[in-house]
Structure 1
């Protein structure tokens, strides 16, 4: 039975974590090509924090509720959906709305829970997997034997990127800000660089330069990344925690044939996200089933404790993903 109302967490006004509040909302209805998911677990990601602060508005037509990924079971399917049936366990990339007992997504943006994973672990996959695979493999064209550097190696994105790159045969470096975080990066297969103690530019140049860098810091890291690249290297930007503006020497880009690119996931078309989902199921899911890649979970909180989950995210003390338990769906 699908109820008329559901419990959710909304952003009452732009601000700190305290603006998150529980509410009752009507259960959404699956439209053409969509599925309704009874949410078991929802991921907490940096874009949720930015949306809560008022600096990352949801795209037109998306739910105003935070939450860009979830796991659960299919509760209903809309017209035109043939793959999924009610009761199917899934994990899904959402345009928003994950902090709720029910969420809507495009049917092509849902994926089966990989064999051997429970719903809790599966909830930590969609946002990181879509982001890492599309930027490291599809956009960044990482190949076996190449040197790969990821900044923020202990984050949810970072821990996924380390494992994917390592599984693909790259030599991996990762920056992190503490001994504990560096140890976590090393355990996943990276050469850790404690950015409080060492200059990643010096480290990477000594190693021959990075063929690919995945950066979510921005700011003065952008120029330093360029210095860290090998000739014909690629820099992929996915976020700007330290700012989106930088002064760089484009003569280096030209002389060394560098590629500077980047993307954000949420504004991309449904067709583009479906294309990423197909690659994930075909190429990444077997790596997860085989144990070469696994979700790294830092902590989990009850849905009504979303405030504490956001404070954990903003503390930057986490290693891996932060989750909300929404219901006891098995």
Structure 2
């Protein structure tokens, strides 16, 4: 059993009290607007504070979960025990000699826009990815033929012992929608992107085109976790879902988007339980119809909840 008051007092020695929230509903901190309560949600302001939080959790055997900005994950209705850390205060983006340094909490879209402003090419593909720098590295995010491993030079991370490390990109084993970051237990704090000089007009044309494609084809009017499934070899996930006649099918407040079959949207105050049930419905239907199993791209974390807890989350 976690002594929340004790943990809270320990954290006040690491970061300001304004950065610590108790029993905070995580649906207020995720793109999907899903998730039960965190025992303690912490939003540190410095890299050293992150190191000390990791050391505290390790020393006292407290569960520790990295939330990021909640863009490519689903938090279950039972919430998360122990310490949950958000990186929303790590927003800094700076440019030095054609290289962009971006902290983990910065939106990758904003990094691509800064690259445009600086007339640097290579990050155009990221102008439509709805997540942070940290999340983009975590899953080697990509779109429209580009991916993070194409432009990442190195990353600053904290390991499980609370040690600050600077690692070259090749040490992160970046592959299609994966990296070794979760297996190694790294917390990304900053990324260094090596880009090439380009013409502002040429970069803008590409970004405008990709932005149009995103806004015209993706259901941005509803909360979602973005693309739910990885592309199965030889197929397109969205096409399989569409051909399975699943668009518009839903459970509770969650449904498969009628605009883009690869998205599941929180259309009407869905619970995580409902959202996950729709994912499972899609997986089963596509497997039964085409013999293809759709692997999730989105991460699911947290604890299951009883009926009363689910009802409470939905009402709040």
Q: Same fold (TM over 0.5)?
A: no
- TM-score, normalised via structure 2 length: 0.28
- TM-score, normalised via structure 1 length: 0.27
